[in-house]
Structure 1
C-alpha cells in the first residue's frame, strides 16, 4: 500500500488498485461566488470571522450584498461583526446597499473606526476583548448604537457622543434602556461625608454609574436615582451607592412589594402607595441596620412611611424618630428602640424609649407602658418601684381633686395613690374603679 500527498489530494495504492481522493487546500479562501446566496450565507456563518471577511472580499459587490442580506436576517450579530472588521471602503459600499434593511447600519463604519481607535488606548483598563462589535438599541430615548465588550468593561458608541469607555461590564443593557447610552467619560465625583472618593459617569435619562474602591461599580437610575440626586448625591447624607437595587416585600401590614437600595449613609426605599405608584423614603444607616435586624419589610416594622425627623423629648433629650407601618423607631442617647403606634399615643409625657418592649412592658425616660388583656396603660417613673408587687396596671390614672399630680391607679393586686407628692400603695382585692 502506498500513500502520496502532493497537496492537491491523497493517492492510495493497493497492488493493482489506485484511488485518488482530492481535498481542498486549507490555505485557499472559500469561493462563495460559486454558491447560491443561501448556501453561501450558511458557509459564512460556519467560518471564523477573519476567514469569512476574506471570503466576502473575494466576491463581486452584488454577491456580497446578497449573501450578507441573508446573514443579517438570520443572524444580525454575525453580519454586524463581519461588516465592522472589513476594509472601511468595502464596509461603506456594503452598508450603502444594506441600510434599507437596517437603517442604523449607516452609522456602523464610523462606529467601528472610533471603537477600534479607543480600544487601542483603553486596552490597559478594559482588559481583553470578550466579544465582537454588536448593535444595541434602541434605548428608551430612541438611540441606536454599538457595543464592544471587554473583560473589565465595554466601549459604547452612539451618534450623540461617539465612542466612550464604560467600566461597568455587568450593568449595561442598551436594549431595555436601564442605563441607556453614556453622555461622557468617567470623571471625579465629590468626596462623601464618610470619606470615600470615586468617579461617576452620566448616561441618558439621568442615570449614572459610580465607581469606588470600596463598593465597586454601582448604577443609579430611575426614581431612586432622581431622589439620590435631589439629596445631594455623594456629597449628601447618603454618600456613595453601596449595593444593588433589590426587590422587597410585600409587608405583613398589607403593602405590596417595593424596592430598596443601600448607600453609605443609609437605604432608600420605594414604598408602595395605597392605590398605585410609589414614594421614595430614605432611612439612615443606624435605623436601616435596626430595621434589617427586625426582619426588614417582612418584619414588625414593615416599610418606612415618612422621612425621619428630629425631636426633643419632654425631658430635653434630642433624638431622631422615623415612622414605619408597624411602629416608630427612635434613636437617642438611650439607644435605638421601636415604639408601637398604639403605645406611642400614651408616651407624650413619658419621653423617649429606653428599652424594647419585653413581656408586656416598655421603659421610657419618665416611666413605663404596660400591655395586657386589660389594655395598655402608662405608669409614671415615681410609682414604678412600689408598683412592682402589684402586678400590671388595670386602669389609667384617675385624678383625685383639682391637682393634676394627685391621682390613683389600680393594679392587678392593689392600688397606688399620690397626694401632695406622697406615694401610698395598698395590696387589696378591689375590683371596682376608685370612687
Structure 2
C-alpha cells in the first residue's frame, strides 16, 4: 500500500550528545476537541497552541463544512465562532478525514445527534480502520449508518431528528468511542451514560466541563461511569493547547539513548491518563523529571527534563495500555537499547491503529538486528545494552509513529536506520527532523 511519492528519511548517530530546550506540537487529542467544542459553543472560542498537522486541519475543514466560522489568526492561534449545541448544518460535500481516526470517530458522534445527512471518507489507511465500534453504539441515538463491509469508510450517516441518550458499556478501552457517545449525547435530552472498564484519556470530559457542560465521573463495580447531562448550553471558552505527550516521547527517548544528552521539552500535557510512558521509562531507570507543573485549560502541564540513562528491561502491565497506546513503538526502541528483557503485555488494540502497529513494531526491531517475539498480544524485546545493530530499512505502512520510532532508533544504533516513507510524520509532528537536527547540532536525520 504505497503513498504516491514516498519520502525516505535516514537517521544516524549524531556523534555528540543531544542538548537544548524545545517545544513540541500541540496535543492532537486536545486540538481536535477544541475545534469541535468551539463549533458547538455559543460565542467565539480563542485557541492557542493548536497542532497545525494535517489531521487537525481536516477537523477544522469539517467544522467549517458544518457551518462554524473557523479562522487561523496566527501560528497555532485560531478563532472558532460556534453555532450552539444542535446547530450544525448539513455539509454540501463529502467530509474527507484524511489519516485521522480520532477526527472521523468523534465527528460521527457529533453528526449522530444532528438531523443532517453526511458522507465521510479518508485516505487508504483510514478506510481500512474499523468504524463499527462507534456506529454500533451511536445507532442507539436513532442515527442510521451505511458503510462498506466491516463497518469501514466511506460511509453515509443520517443523524437522528430526535436523538435519544445513550447508555453504553465499552467492550474495549477506547477514548474515541467514549467521546463519540458523549458528543452524540450533547444533543439528546436526559442523561447519557458511558461505562469504561479501564480508564481512557479524559480530554473530552475535561473540555466539556471547561465549556460549561455537566459531566460527572464515578467508580462503580462495572467500571468508570461517565455521566453527561444532555442539551447543555456550551459557552465559548479560551483553550490553551499543551504540547502533545505522544510527540514529546520521541525527543525524550532520543535523549535517554544518546550518551551524554540532556533535553528539556517544555509545556507538555501531563494528564495522568496519558503519562504511561513516563511511568514505564522511570521504572526502567530513566533520569526523567518534571519541572514547572501547572494547570492550563483544565489540563495539568509541565516541562519534562530527560538525561541519558542506561535503561533496564521491565514488564509493562496490560492495564497501562490505554495511557500509552501510541507510545509502544518508541518504547520498543528504548527497550531495544536497554539491558535485559522488556515484556509489553495486552497490546491487542495496537493491531487496529494507523497500521497493525504491533506487527510493524516487531518488523522495525527485526530489520535492525534486535531480537523480539510476539506471544498472543504481548511483545517481548531482548535488549542490546546500548548496542543496537541498526542498518535496516523500516516499512512505515503510512504510520507516522512507526516512522518517528525508526528515526529515533537510528540516532542510537551502530549503523544508520532508514524509514521508507517519512511523509506521514507531518500528520502529527510537522518539522520533526529539523527539530531533532537542532538538538543534535548536525544533520543526523536526512534523505538517504
Question: Which TM-score band (shorter chain)?
Answer: under 0.3
TM-score by length of 2: 0.20
TM-score by length of 1: 0.20
**Which has more strand, going by share of residues?**
1
**Which has more helix, going by share of residues?**
2
| Higher gyration radius (CA) | 1
Greater relative CO (CA pairs within 8 A, separation 6+): 2
